[in-house]
Amino acid sequence: MDNENEKLTKIRKSSHYGRIASRVLLIIGIVAVVLSLATGIGILSSNGRFDEWIQSQDTEVQNKIGSADLFNIDLKLGSPTDLHLESDIPAVQKEIAEHPYAVFYGAYILAVSLLAFYYCVVTFMFMRAFKIIENSPSPFTPEVKKGLLIPLIGVAVIVAVTISGGFAIIAALLIWVINSILDYGISLQKQYDETL
């Protein structure tokens, strides 16, 4: 019995640290959301100053180690007509025609803020899952299973959208395996509780 209590204590302790790490990552994510929203809105509302600035700069970014190029990015992306931005809304099309770089980069950064917000939601769900595990008498309960699987599905969606479908398939298979393990653990816990 002492060995079982010791293992449960370790699970609760690791869940406590997981909750602390999730809280820190959530704060970082909230800062990222606020900064990206402010930056995207600032660029979109720059009234052409952003386009003037980017066209006046040497916008080629290079990163070298010795003589090897790690990457080379031209922030101008060619001429403004190369951006292929169009809208059926006349006011938006007017802004695209007048300030293509501001619209492109502003919209891109706002899209990043949406992704950062989604990251915050998933991180908050993990924080709640760690709290459920920490306060649960056993890690094999339906509440723990639900608390873990929902944010894991959220991570699989982030992986599918940002990295690739291949990694998303691996993440989905991993979720399936974790679901099966938790189902088995819940059934064993139920049998154990009935024998007591």
Q: Mean pLDDT across the stretch 62-73?
A: 56
- The rounded distance, in Å, linking the Cα atoms of 3 and 5 is 6
pLDDT tens readout for residues 152-189: 888 888 888 887 778 888 888 999 999 999 899 888 88
pLDDT tens readout for residues 104-154: 889 889 999 999 999 999 999 999 999 999 988 888 888 888 888 888 888
pLDDT tens readout for residues 5-16: 888 889 899 999
